[in-house]
Amino acid sequence: MIVGQPIPFQARTKLRIPLASANVQAGFPSPAEDHMENSLDLNEHLVSNPAATFFVRVQGNSMRDAGIQGGDILVVDRSITPGNGQIVIAMLDGDFTVKRLRKKGKRVFLEAENAEFTPIEISENQELTVWGVVTFVIHPAR
């Protein structure tokens, strides 16, 4: 799975969207409330460090079992130190990719979340740069 070129976050304006005061039931419906109590700005919820945040659009399906599909937009924070098991944006030999970072002793792997793809073990002949940690996935309802 590859990702497009990073797009830096720029808070141009605040966009406050109405927020319903009631929770939405995923099971049986509950009585509806006809009023909006608060509003929210998605920037405040999705971006904790604006100077270190960027967005990328996903191509491919190697991360589908992690809930990441082609066409999704990933929110990525470069200020987070990447840890074992986190989903990261990495540049491997000059190409951007999104994978799960896995460390096993001194060995490092980039793992897909799709059984059709084998893990990539990083050799000393390869150049790996982890650009940041994926903090949110934005995708349309399917």
* Catalytic annotation, residues: 62, 99
Among left, alpha and beta (phi > 0; psi -120 to 50; other), residue 137 is: beta
Task: Quote the CA–CA distance of 83 and 66 in Å, as a whole number.
Answer: 17
Task: Quote the CA–CA distance of 46 and 33 in Å, as a whole number.
Answer: 26
Q: Where are the alpha helices (DSSP H) in the chain?
A: 42-46
